[in-house]
Structure 1
Amino acid sequence: MKPGQLVQLAGRLLDLSPRHWHADTVELVPLVPDGSSRRFYRLRGAGQEVIAILPPENDQSGRAEARAFVHIGRHLQLCGAPTPEVLAFDETTGLALCEDLGGQRLHELVRAGGQDAALPFYEQAVRELARMQVRGARGFDPDWCWDTPVYDRRLMLERESGYFLRACCIDFFGLDFDRDRVEAECRNLAEAAAHAPAHFFLHRDFQSRNIMIHRGQVRFIDFQGGRLGPLAYDLASLLIDPYAALDAAMQEHLLAVYLQALEQETDYDREQFRQQYLLLALQRNLQILGAFAFLSRVKQKPFFARFLAPALDSLGGLLAKPGAAGYAGLSHLCQLCRQKLEYL
């Protein structure tokens, strides 16, 4: 789609007069996505500021993802979640228009001002997360999902631990290791993690680059991969996020803030949650490493390579905990990855 066509279509969807909204009067600014193949633009004109999101050309999966963004986004809005307002959608092209939340992400805030400066926003984020997970599950239709409708054992093995072994350990680092032993541990990990109740709303990429700061409030984006899943996964995604590398004390503080907020929404055993948290944090950490290695090597996005070290440090720390004593093979593999990274 050419820029002029995009502006014209956006104007029709927003019901704006062509006299005031056309290619000569509207500023169109391409935005650079992180790991997504979608195309993002900021449109300014006729007193309007919106974000336009287009799937890749001739990509049916991308259009399904766009529909998920719209359905899930509108549902979350109705639930009171701090997500951008979905303004319009064109089924034919997959063009979605949503509220422009500006350009400040939680990631930039913590990198520029440190953890102390970002703490109030992290506290706000985990409180809002607890509400979104519980309230967003009510009336959630799995048919909205473009990928899978629920986070389960199969997804863990294929998209997380399997992703880590293929994309990170084999393709990126070229490691030779005892695959039978490690894959057995991955199956055991997935089996244990799958015991966590999975009937809550799961964002599945809840990290500091997907949290905007707009007018002093946190707002959540990139929720199109949402589905039903366990509570602890999204919290772990935020707390072990390699982009921010929060220290252990802050992670523990935010976990306590989250649990306090969760108690206002539903009954959930704290000790059970903590046990599940470790297992799901391990799963998420494996997914992160697989994704960063793939995006670095295959997609040629060097931005992600710089976060492999903190992600490996996080994984090593989790595997050193008493509750992870049964994953010695994974722990050794993590050490091999860390050693290999030092020579790259």
Structure 2
Amino acid sequence: MTPTKTIVQISSILEKLFEEHFEKKVEEMEALAVSGSDRRYYRISGGGSVAIGTYNANVAENNTFFYITELFRKHKVNVPEVYKINKDRRAYLQQDLGKTSLFDLVIKDGFTDKNRKLYHAAMAQLAKAQWIAGREADFKQCFASKQFDEKAIMSDLLYFKYYFADLQNIQYDRSLLISEMELLSKDLGRVQPQTLMYRDFQSRNIMVYEGKIYFIDYQGFMQGPPQYDIASLLWQARAQLPAAWKEDLLNGYISTLNELHVPRMDEIYFRRGYVQFVLVRLLQVLGAYGFRGLLQHKAHFINSIGPALKNLEIFLADHPQTPAYPELRSLLEKMSAPDMQDKYATTRGSEQSKLTIQVSSFSYKNGIPKSAGQHGGGYVFDCRGILNPGRYATYKHLTGNDEMVRQFLERETRMPDFMNHANALVAINVEDYMARGFEHLDIAFGCTGGQHRSVYAANQMAEYLRSRYNLEVTVSHLNEKKWVLPDAAKTEE
């Protein structure tokens, strides 16, 4: 078994790979943000060349990515070119497609005609990937599940049940619900046709580069119903596409199938299956948001629950006969009711509370900061039990504001566990303070130098509170003037 590489080792491997391929020295290496994946990405540049360096210890997953990339490029589906792969197949260089996703454009510019045309282009590329490249796909190359069958569908439904529904204190008949889910998964597991299924086809995984659509993060591909991918894009919770767009884009997809000379299919049957897989995708997403947000306290996912429940409400209103199972239908109606949406609405804190929160980072060398509130309430968390990035030369002149440090703390220390516990503790007092009309709460994170661990923790706490409660949160890094930064290091030399 190959030992896990440190970020320093990974950086060195990717730097060497870049210099071997481009025959140029690396001038800049920027760590890119990642979410739930174990893959690590860096934008590497030097001598006028640029590439995305990727490291992933899961060789099976990498091999799937290399296979499907080659297959897509053969059939002119726009995906990044893989420039070079190292010998152990854990590191590789791929084409840099910039920083703008289709999701970014919709959030920035709204539902413009230009963005609608980009969505149509994405749907056309999807059809080509599913039906043309899919004809040749070897599903034995899938690194995880090979097919989105009855078992996989049931797994998604249970993911929703255990990680979201069971956390909402809603009463339902658990035995009956499981029976209905089994029937639903059995019905959908028989849906035809089966094509190449992207699995996570959403606008964050669609890059817009030089005016063209490119796909990324498709290594989870498997054999499955094409409707699932369509549902994933059109019903993405944070994008909130208008109903007219959804219908227009679905019609455009079906027109593309005719242009690609896909064998004749029953359009009515296809559309009926699409509706069913919209429901499955909505529930799978809620399960993911529950796991990442409610259990792991990740702010982005908590912030997405409200839009996802709104999506579910819209779906149920538009499809009064779906799902056709009474216990599941009843549960979903209760879950998407206005009071549940209010529970996760990001505006509720500012409307119901005058509470303001001061979050700070500090160095224990200077002592614990005093509370600014009249009642002196608050928390002080000691981060010194977490491995210190400042011990390593690579991070010494960085801070907790830097992506490299963030990745180190999240991947190579117990900081995620630490923050999960801190978030859960703070949430108890925040909700109590809001209910009782308190106006101030102090939260402080300390470490040895007040530069890495405590800065990261303060930033994460502030993001979590803003996302979950939409409260006024101020962040102060009290030891900032004494941080050991690159310019200071040069002065010392």
Which TM-score applies when normalising by structure 1?
A: 0.90
Q: Which runs of 5+ in 2 are unaligned?
A: 345-493
Query: For residues 36 and 8 of structure 1, do their structure 2 counterparts lie closer, same or farther at Cα, with a shift above 3 Å needed?
Result: closer
Matched, 1:226 2:221: yes
Structure 1 residue 18, shift from structure 2 partner:
9.2
One of 52, 60, 64 as aligned partner of 1:64: 60
Aligned identity (percent) is 30
Alpha-carbon separation, structure 2, partners of 1:189 and 1:263? 30
One of 210, 213, 216 as aligned partner of 2:211: 216
Deviations 1:267-321 (A, max 9, x none): 2221111011011111111111111111113343210112212212222333341
Q: How does 1:307-326 map to 2 (within 5 A)?
A: 307-320=304-317, 321-324=319-322, 326=324
One of 331, 334, 348 as aligned partner of 1:333: 331
Query: For residues 311 and 72 of structure 1, do their structure 2 counterparts lie closer, same or farther at Cα, with a shift above 3 Å needed?
Result: same
One of 81, 87, 101 as aligned partner of 1:85: 81
Q: Which has the higher contact order (CA 8 A, sep 6+)?
A: 1
Structure 1 residue 16, shift from structure 2 partner:
2.8
Query: For residues 305 and 270 of structure 1, do their structure 2 counterparts lie closer, same or farther at Cα, with a shift above 3 Å needed?
Result: same
Q: Does the 8 Å CA contact 2:200/2:229 hold for their aligned counterparts?
A: yes
SS of match in other structure, 1:329: helix
Q: How does 1:45-64 map to 2 (within 5 A)?
A: 45-55=46-56, 62-64=58-60
SS of match in other structure, 1:52: strand
Q: Which runs of 5+ in 1 are unaligned?
A: none
Query: For residues 136 and 15 of structure 1, do their structure 2 counterparts lie closer, same or farther at Cα, with a shift above 3 Å needed?
Result: farther
One-letter identity of the residue aligned with 2:39: R
SS of match in other structure, 2:313: helix
Matched, 1:298 2:311: no
Alpha-carbon separation, structure 1, partners of 2:85 and 2:20? 15
Q: Does the 8 Å CA contact 1:205/1:234 hold for their aligned counterparts?
A: yes
One-letter identity of the residue aligned with 2:71: H
Matched, 1:286 2:290: no
Q: Does the 8 Å CA contact 1:210/1:220 hold for their aligned counterparts?
A: yes
1:143 corresponds to: 140
Alpha-carbon separation, structure 2, partners of 1:285 and 1:17? 43
2:244 corresponds to: 249
Deviations 1:200-221 (A, max 9, x none): 1110100110110000011111
2:103 corresponds to: 107
Structure 1 residue 127, shift from structure 2 partner:
1.1
Alpha-carbon separation, structure 1, partners of 2:22 and 2:220? 34
Query: For residues 275 and 323 of structure 1, do their structure 2 counterparts lie closer, same or farther at Cα, with a shift above 3 Å needed?
Result: farther
Matched, 1:179 2:174: yes
2:230 corresponds to: 235
Computing the radius of gyration from Cα coordinates, the structure with the larger value is 2
Deviations 1:82-130 (A, max 9, x none): 1111222235261132111000011110111111241110011111111
Corresponding pairs, count: 334
Q: Does the 8 Å CA contact 1:88/1:98 hold for their aligned counterparts?
A: yes
One of 245, 257, 260 as aligned partner of 1:262: 257
One-letter identity of the residue aligned with 2:184: L
2:486 corresponds to: none
1:199 corresponds to: 194
One-letter identity of the residue aligned with 1:156: I
1:42 corresponds to: 43
Q: Does the 8 Å CA contact 2:316/2:333 hold for their aligned counterparts?
A: no
Structure 1 residue 328, shift from structure 2 partner:
3.1
SS of match in other structure, 2:53: strand
One-letter identity of the residue aligned with 2:32: L
1:129 corresponds to: 126
Alpha-carbon separation, structure 1, partners of 2:125 and 2:97? 17
Q: Does the 8 Å CA contact 2:309/2:341 hold for their aligned counterparts?
A: no
Query: For residues 328 and 68 of structure 1, do their structure 2 counterparts lie closer, same or farther at Cα, with a shift above 3 Å needed?
Result: same
2:460 corresponds to: none
Alpha-carbon separation, structure 2, partners of 1:289 and 1:157? 15
Deviations 1:139-175 (A, max 9, x none): 21122211111111100101x11100011112x4344
RMSD of aligned residue pairs (Cα, Å): 2.2
One-letter identity of the residue aligned with 2:124: R
2:360 corresponds to: none
Matched, 1:16 2:20: yes
Q: Does the 8 Å CA contact 1:164/1:286 hold for their aligned counterparts?
A: yes
Q: Does the 8 Å CA contact 2:322/2:329 hold for their aligned counterparts?
A: no
Which stretch shows the higher mean deviation, 33-42 or 286-295? 33-42
Query: For residues 298 and 93 of structure 1, do their structure 2 counterparts lie closer, same or farther at Cα, with a shift above 3 Å needed?
Result: farther
Which TM-score applies when normalising by structure 2?
A: 0.64
SS of match in other structure, 2:289: helix
